[in-house]
Structure 1
């Protein structure tokens, strides 16, 4: 797996995980503007309603990316076979104390059910652990059954519920490097 600190792309069997560009605005709008996706976004990331608003969001993400210390960042998920941008994922510090790293993912609804979130998430988890992170978390609203199922497919362990993050009741999942090592045996 390439080191993303020296290479902007991470490749899996079916996907390319790369930095966002402002040219991705139309494709990104099909993700972040979709009601089925937007209903589960964090409070600071509301549904995006038009291409120019999406371009502004992407501009902010592009500008912020070089300032993140690995493994933090935001990336686009592109399907290798056709170059179609189908999703996004990020690693970031969870509010309010910014001590726990969160993995989150969003896919365009017509890309759901193909294992793309699990494939991209697994690649980023592996890369993050190569950067020295000791654990990653995913949080999901209890009714977001797709996110909960993806966290479980990623090998993340349910550790409970909390209102600590985003002032919402959330299911919390965690994965550590030893969880991956244990599966490899």
Structure 2
């Protein structure tokens, strides 16, 4: 997938020039404290550039729908977040959808808008379910999972050795104008 578009957003592959914008996401404790697996704040733009370089190099080797993408706002071209689909440990059978936004963009519906587009595309790639995991106190992530049409399926410590809420979506769960 090169790019997805929604009413307000473009979901696209990361570029090295996104380092400053990515640092405003992954260099902020308000974001990184919730990530699974736990990720320390990226220290500076040079370190962020190294992280992006690794993501960009990994992307072509990931079997669809796996990957990492930037969320870019259409009206001003600002990179405001990131999305990912990857295998959940330890068994690497379940695919996890994750999303991260700059804190100043929280509450605008961007994660659900971009995540919904990515879910719809992912279900064209011969998969039948996606999961999201959230720490029990991460009410924003839990709310976004529900807005994405994901159902709560329980709590587990199976993933990342953390106690997490687990949500799942299947193609039949999707509701919205594209269905």
Q: In the aligned structure 1, how far is the partner of 2:176 from the partner of 2:110?
A: 23
Q: In the aligned structure 2, how far is the partner of 1:31 from the partner of 1:20?
A: 13
Give aligned pairs, total: 179
Which residue in the other structure is 2:26 paired with? 32
Query: Is 1:130 the counterpart of 2:119 in the alignment?
Result: no
Q: CA deviation at 1:35?
A: 1.2
Query: Is 1:70 the counterpart of 2:64 in the alignment?
Result: yes
Q: 1:43 to 1:178 in 2, by over 3 A?
A: closer
Which residue in the other structure is 2:80 paired with? 86
Q: In the aligned structure 2, how far is the partner of 1:124 from the partner of 1:70?
A: 11
Q: Which structure 2 residue ranges, 5 or more long, are not aligned?
A: none
Which residue in the other structure is 1:15 paired with? 9
Q: Could you give the per-residue CA deviations for residues 132-179 of structure 1, whole angstroms, max 9, x where no partner exists? A: 110000000000000000000001000000000000000000000111
Q: Which structure 1 residue ranges, 5 or more long, are not aligned?
A: none
Q: CA deviation at 1:99?
A: 0.2
Q: What SS is found at the alignment partner of 2:99?
A: strand
Q: What SS is found at the alignment partner of 1:130?
A: coil
Match of 2:150 among 156, 170, 174: 156
Q: What SS is found at the alignment partner of 2:123?
A: helix
Q: Could you give the per-residue CA deviations for residues 8-47 of structure 1, whole angstroms, max 9, x where no partner exists? A: 1110000000000111110000000111101111236321
TM-score normalized by structure 2?
0.96
Q: 1:43 to 1:179 in 2, by over 3 A?
A: closer
Q: Could you give the per-residue CA deviations for residues 85-116 of structure 1, whole angstroms, max 9, x where no partner exists? A: 00000001001110000000000001110000
Q: 1:131 to 1:43 in 2, by over 3 A?
A: closer
